[in-house]
């Protein structure tokens, strides 16, 4: 007996446009209102339910394959979005529409399946169609029908989207690492002060609208054991002093430093996918990153404990792709 809501198109194996290369893993696509884009039935629709935006992010909410998209890219600045059933998202007529806007039945990448991603602003971006219009999440999200328009000529709140990583992180790809916090810093990436190569005051947050500098872009370099070296803009690596297990550093040295030049034991981190579009970060000794305890008389901004033993108490992070090519 078929499982309700199961994806029925797993047999689709399209012959993909050879100009395009698959980006590792998948992404979730968020609206500016933190609603996920979903492709019902894993794709295959040509009506106004082809894309929906009714599901909003909530901590711990496990989400299914319909909300995941595989990215494909060429080297001319174009991307394509593949649904979980193997189809591609189409901007009908190349964009410029308020009705019959999106289809999800394409089995290859042609002009109407090609999009361009604009520069990141905080963790948000815009998605441009072949007609040079922008996708709009109608109402900012929470729509079961007519969820997307493609006629915008400028970018404002409803044209803002965010990509959150899922699955395989690849190797030597750049990400923004965004702590999931409840306060005013929620949604802002960390950055390596001075681009790295420091033992004190090593990490901070961006706390206002900005275009991410290289200091906020971390390159994840996969190691043979499945862990990652986290490389800064200065080509140094993050290190968890003592391999983890420290709530604090010292008055002259942080417990996470950015001055190492090679990946050895203390420079290895595991990114453990939680299933709600977040990751926990584990140090080599088995502890997790968490919030820096308060009350020590120093500046808590951008500092973390490496002494969390329970993954359920660990700080969660979004990984936002910072480069696509």
- What CA–CA distance (Å, rounded) separates 284 from 146? 47
In-domain check, residue 3: no
- What CA–CA distance (Å, rounded) separates 273 from 282? 11
Long-range CB contacts (within 8 A, 24+) of 10-16: 10/85, 10/86, 12/85, 12/86, 12/87, 12/107, 13/86, 14/86, 14/87, 14/88, 14/107, 14/108, 15/108, 16/72, 16/108, 16/109
Same domain, 147 and 213: no
Domain boundary among 165, 187, 213: 165
Same domain, 188 and 304: yes
- Residues 82/69, Cβ–Cβ less than 8 Å: yes
Q: What is the pLDDT of residue 183?
A: 54
Using DSSP bridges, classify how beta strands 218-222 and 173-179 pair: parallel, antiparallel or unpaired. antiparallel
Cα–Cα distances (Å) from 40 to 53, 79, 143, 164, in that order, read 10, 21, 13, 19
Residue 27 bridge partners (DSSP): 69, 165
Q: What is the pLDDT of residue 63?
A: 82
Domain count, the chain: 2
**Half-sphere exposure (Cβ direction) of 13: Cα atoms closer than 13 Å:** 1
Domain boundary among 132, 165, 198: 165
Same domain, 201 and 264: yes
Same domain, 47 and 126: yes
* 253: three-class secondary structure by DSSP: strand
In-domain check, residue 200: yes
Same domain, 160 and 175: no
- What CA–CA distance (Å, rounded) separates 219 from 226? 15
Same domain, 149 and 187: no
- What CA–CA distance (Å, rounded) separates 158 from 81? 19
Domain boundary among 113, 134, 165: 165
* 316: three-class secondary structure by DSSP: strand
Please report where in the chains the tokens 């709140």 appear, as a residue.
Answer: 157
Same domain, 159 and 186: no
DSSP type of residue 37:
E
Q: Give just the sign of the alpha carbon dihedral 61, 67, 68, 71.
A: negative
Residue 59: which domain range? 21-165
Q: What is the pLDDT of residue 7?
A: 43
- What CA–CA distance (Å, rounded) separates 14 from 90? 15
Q: What is the pLDDT of residue 15?
A: 73
- What CA–CA distance (Å, rounded) separates 87 from 112? 13
Q: What is the pLDDT of residue 11?
A: 45
Same domain, 310 and 186: yes
Instruction: Record the pTM.
Output: 0.91
- Non-local (6+) Cβ contacts of 289 within 8 A are 280, 281, 282, 283, 304, 305, 306, 308, 314, 315, 317
Q: What is the pLDDT of residue 302?
A: 65
Same domain, 123 and 148: yes
Same domain, 241 and 138: no
- What CA–CA distance (Å, rounded) separates 250 from 202? 13
R_g over Cα of the chain: 20
In-domain check, residue 157: yes
How many residues make up the chain in this entry? 325
Q: Within the chain, where are the H helices?
A: none
Per-residue pLDDT of the chain in tens (325 residues, 90 and over written 9): 333 444 444 445 557 999 999 999 999 999 988 899 999 999 999 999 999 999 998 888 888 899 999 999 999 999 999 999 999 999 999 999 999 999 999 999 999 999 999 877 778 999 999 999 999 999 999 999 999 999 999 999 999 999 999 999 999 999 999 999 865 556 789 999 999 999 999 998 776 666 678 899 999 999 999 999 999 999 999 999 999 999 999 989 999 999 999 999 999 999 999 988 999 999 999 999 998 876 554 555 568 999 999 999 999 999 999 987 6
């Amino acid at each position: 007996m078929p499982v309700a809501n199961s994806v029925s198109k797993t047999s689709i194996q399209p012959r993909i446009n050879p100009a395009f290369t698959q980006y590792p893993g998948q992404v979730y696509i968020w609206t500016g209102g933190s609603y996920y884009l979903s492709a019902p039935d894993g794709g295959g629709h040509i009506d106004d339910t082809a894309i929906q935006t009714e599901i909003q992010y909530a901590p711990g909410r496990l989400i299914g394959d319909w909300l995941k998209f595989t990215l494909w890219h060429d080297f001319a600045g174009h991307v394509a979005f593949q649904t979980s059933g193997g189809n591609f998202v189409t901007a009908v007529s190349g964009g410029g529409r308020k009705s019959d806007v999106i289809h999800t039945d394409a089995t290859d990448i042609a002009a109407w399946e090609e999009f361009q991603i604009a520069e990141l602003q905080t963790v948000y971006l815009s998605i441009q169609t072949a007609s040079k219009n922008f996708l709009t999440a109608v109402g900012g999200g929470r729509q079961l029908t007519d969820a997307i328009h493609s006629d915008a000529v400028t970018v404002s709140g409803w044209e803002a989207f965010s990509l959150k990583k899922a699955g395989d992180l690849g190797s030597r790809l750049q990400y923004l690492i965004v702590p999931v916090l409840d306060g005013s810093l929620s949604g802002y990436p960390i950055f390596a002060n001075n681009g790295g190569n420091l033992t004190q005051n090593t990490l901070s947050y961006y706390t206002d609208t900005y275009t991410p500098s290289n200091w906020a872009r971390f390159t994840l370099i996969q190691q043979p054991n499945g862990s990652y070296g986290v490389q800064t803009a200065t080509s140094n690596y993050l290190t968890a002093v003592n391999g983890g297990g420290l709530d604090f550093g010292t008055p002259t040295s942080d417990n996470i430093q950015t001055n190492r030049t090679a990946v050895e034991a203390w420079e290895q981190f595991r990114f453990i996918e939680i299933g709600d579009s977040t990751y926990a970060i584990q140090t080599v000794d088995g502890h997790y990153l968490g919030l820096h305890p308060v009350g020590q008389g120093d500046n808590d901004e951008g500092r973390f404990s490496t002494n969390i033993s329970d993954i359920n108490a660990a700080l969660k992070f979004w990984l936002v792709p910072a480069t696509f090519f």
